[in-house]
Structure 1
């Protein structure tokens, strides 16, 4: 081993070597495309369309496709399988709603006067599947027809990477450019939030990407706060200009407390706390909840009317066949009751393998896995999305408080 290393030079060399190797690996995986987004999203079967997108009986949907005029008919593929693009699916959904075939509790888009759900994915501990939860939840809700805005508040920007949007490399605006302080920065003007929103290759999902520049926001906020410049409302003020265009805003947060996270707490009206299925993670959760409570107490001092529509906890990386994890799950449910989602985010080789190829579950071909493996994790993620949808619809007043949508 070498000694007397110059840290800046050594770490810089590591960064360059890994960056080049990752680009070469991506080129091999994506060939003949140069970027993931060039390939486009896979097509979906009528069965997926009925079960995931419309929550409708399969034969009922086939009947509608056959008998209601002017509905997209998809394309016939080998094996006598008819498939649809997600754009076609959403067109079918809208026409079925207009024809009175989809009831209001199952129609995802807001009606006039309904509030945008602003959901914070929040836990200060790393490795609890925050980004995986945010991305997969966003895609399942988007499949259902919800218009989603993802806000990536993590300087590592993994959520943005999964959607093939890299503000630092592409020279495009990030959430930092929306939030920055002209007074504390280099004189450049803030970017209007509408200019920072980027459409993704996944229909119904837009994103405001994260970037390493978010670390600068922390230094600038400390300096600005010393001069009495408020920061709590920085995200909510920016969002107020665009949130009406979306049904759900999802915040993916970093694994540490920051001014940016506090501003997201102020901006959000619902919260999902991912928790890994391990006793050390539960011990850490106690400390996190205590800190989060203190932070919200400060926010409530600024805005006494601050309230959340729901706060739920999601057990992640869960293996029901592990006796220790099964016992932990029972302990949490006995202690926290309905605060726990009924559905757990299962540990799965499908998630691990999909992560290695930078693909959330809905982007991979189901035939890439054994049917049992794929169906297990699909049921898990779909169940999580349905519970969150139920919370949203309850908040909108479309379903009774006690009914839910399991």
Structure 2
């Protein structure tokens, strides 16, 4: 008798990958039929007023006086606003504002684009969640935002409604703009999203090629070197944006270094437990050593700010409170005031490849939803304040 055929691990893994990819495609079609592309919901008058920085009564007054255009109105007479509607209202309000920038908070002549990297050495620290919610919140507040997914796993790209393993498997990802042979203009890989004011430079598996090709490019002195390629590529489009946000891979490779060298701000996400803190200690030491090397090679490393963002925080967890207190004592003002709370609303929204800003409030228990939104808003409004301070405001 002969035993069963030995399992070919490469064959089995490939079969698993194909099965999973097919299932994900069906899930996407079911969730976003018929065209498998997402659409952003409309926002209530209360939400719109909050995002515009005015009172609901003043918003009603603007409509009553015909100072702003009509918006979608439900049969019950309730107004609902798209992001484009809110941006149009901002332009009207700015025209009569006593102080410049009261309603249009983006770049002015002389302001440099703000490039923020969300990173950590450890997976599961909330980088993608933090990065995409920051990008969306800033877009909702009228900023022109570019989200750049440099993680080969492409989780951020997936949250925007794409299937990286199909849509950008061989071309169309950020890799094409930074590769060493015949790179494409950055503008050719940018995707418009369903989120007005928020564009995407997609990630994909081919980004891993950048890690493999860089050692050979260094040997042959290909210019610009790896650490300058991201910044050089972004120069083509940076005038079109106020803020550029990198979602970095959970490793300290050439892609992460290239993003750091292009950044004006860095947000290091950290889950408050001692294992994660110990991992971050190694990450910081390795980062410093590698940045010394690229700095000596000529890289420009000037940040407007560096912050530690406490992530997946549970205020009722005593040990977490101790770790947060330890970090605040150690790093002082470099730890962000607002932590991002652990919330089932964030994870539940992810089941349908959405963020908390995309889902309707009535899809969750109201207290759960409000708690998550309040936490996210506090974090992202603090990030907005750091951006404004970098512009000298």
Using the size of structure 1 for normalisation, the TM-score is: 0.91
Cα distance in 2, alignment partners of residues 101 and 166 from structure 1? 46
The 2-side partners of 1:363 and 1:226 are apart by 46
Give the superposition deviation at 1:306: 2.6
Q: Does 1:314 align with 2:309?
A: yes
Output the CA distance in 1 between the equivalents of 2:165 and 2:24. 16
- 1:116 maps to which residue? 113
> Which of 325, 328, 343 is the aligned partner of 2:338?
343
Distance 1:190 1:340 in 2: 38
1:251 aligns with 2:246: yes
Residue in structure 1 matched with residue 130 of structure 2 by the alignment: 133
The aligned runs of 1:47-196 (5 Å cut-off) are: 47-51=46-50, 53-67=51-65, 69=67, 71-100=68-97, 103-104=100-101, 106-170=103-167, 172-182=171-181, 189-196=182-189
Equivalent positions of 1:368-379 (< 5 A) are: 368-379=363-374
Partner SS, residue 332 of structure 1: helix
Give 1:81 deviation, angstroms: 2.2
Cα deviation 1:273-322 (Å, max 9, x = unaligned): 11112211111111111111222222332347531000011111111111
Deviation at residue 105 of structure 1 after TM alignment: 5.4
Superposition deviation, residue 101 in structure 1: 6.5
Residue 59 (structure 1) shift: 2.7
Please list, as runs of the form range in 1=range in 2, the aligned pairs for 1:207-226 lying within 5 A after superposition: 207-226=200-219
Residues 235 and 264, structure 1, Cα contact 8 Å, conserved in 2: yes
Q: Which runs of structure 2 are paired with 1:20-39 in the superposition (5 Å)?
A: 20-31=22-33, 33-37=34-38
The answer (yes or no) to whether the contact 1:96–1:102 under 8 Å persists in 2 is no
The corresponding residue for 1:331 is 326
What secondary structure, in the 3-state scheme, does the structure 2 residue paired with 1:363 have? coil
Return the alpha-carbon distance in structure 1 between the equivalents of residues 341 and 310 of structure 2: 8
Cα 1:148–1:158 shift into 2, 3 Å: same
Gaps of 5+ in 2: none
Contact in 2 for aligned 1:87/1:203 (Cα 8 Å):
yes
Check the 8 A contact 1:123/1:130 in 2, yes or no.
yes
The aligned residue for residue 298 of structure 1 is 293
**Equivalent-residue separation in structure 2 for 1:294 and 1:2 (angstroms):** 51
Q: Distance in 2 between matches of 1:360 and 1:336?
A: 30
Contact 1:73–1:84 (CA under 8 A) maintained in structure 2? no
Residues 321-371 of structure 1, C-alpha deviations (whole Å, 9 max, x = no match): 112212222222122111111111111110010011100111111101111
- Contact between 1:173 and 1:191, CA under 8 Å: does it hold in 2? no
- 1:144-191 deviation line (CA, Å, top 9, x unaligned): 011011111001111111112345412551111111111xxxxxx321
User: Against the structure 1 CA distance between its residues 270 and 190, is the aligned structure 2 distance closer, same or farther, given a 3 Å change threshold?
Assistant: same
Rounded to whole Å, the distance in 1 between the matches of 2:82 and 2:99 is 20
1:401 matched residue in structure 2: none
Equivalent residue pairs, number = 387
CA distance in 2, matches of 1:167, 1:55: 37
CA distance 1:222–1:74, shift in 2 (3 Å): same
